[in-house]
Amino acid sequence: MGSRRLPLVAATANPNKLAEIEAILGDAVELLPRPDHVPDVVEDAPDLLGNARLKAQAIMAATGHAALADDTGLEVDRLDGAPGVHSARYAGPQADASANVAKLLGALADVAQPERTARFRTVALVAWPDGTETYAEGVVEGHIIAAPEGTGGFGYDPVFVPVDGGGATFAAMSDADKNAISHRGRAFRNLLGLLGPRLG
């Protein structure tokens, strides 16, 4: 078995997400940076799979190489699954993570802790130049706390406590501990399993 790493062009330009994906995938994949000339992809699909597909196909078309994309949503039960596919833009098109978290906490202000159940869901997808695709999903159950805790992570990590995380938010965990149980970690490890025949 050879040691050549599978080259994939990353669709994300988010440095936090890129570092997390690289840590999860390890040495099996060589993540190539998204070219600067490729514009942002309009993520207007109705679900996470559709958005991941849009991003991966756009990067693959622009570079001619296999491209890797993912899309993640936070699904809060008392909000009927919102923010879901709109998680990154929950508080508006130009909103940052703190604005999104503030809107979420405001929406849940009168909801008792036992009813603040939620889950993170990630779809990771590779678009291949031959027109085929490979994708996998990762899900982690948890709940939303009343105020941010922890200084690590990004996005909604400071207010999400996974059920199997010992009571800590993702933002209060080390990167390694988070990646071991996170939605993104599970999605990309599942994807690696599907990529087996193409690796090495």
Catalytic residues: 71
Residue with tokens 């991966």: 56
From CA 172, how far away is CA 152, in angstroms rounded?
Answer: 6
Q: Which long-range contacts (CB under 8 A, 24 or more apart) does 108-115 make?
A: 108/76, 108/78, 108/79, 108/144, 111/78, 113/143, 113/145, 113/146, 115/77, 115/78
All residues at 6 or more sequence positions from 22 whose CB lies less than 8 Å from its CB, including other chains:
31
Q: How far apart are CA 109 and CA 79, in angstroms?
A: 12
Residue 9 CA to residue 67 CA, distance in Å, equals: 4
The tokens 């799979």 sit on which residue?
49
Residue type, 117: T
- CA diameter of the chain: 57
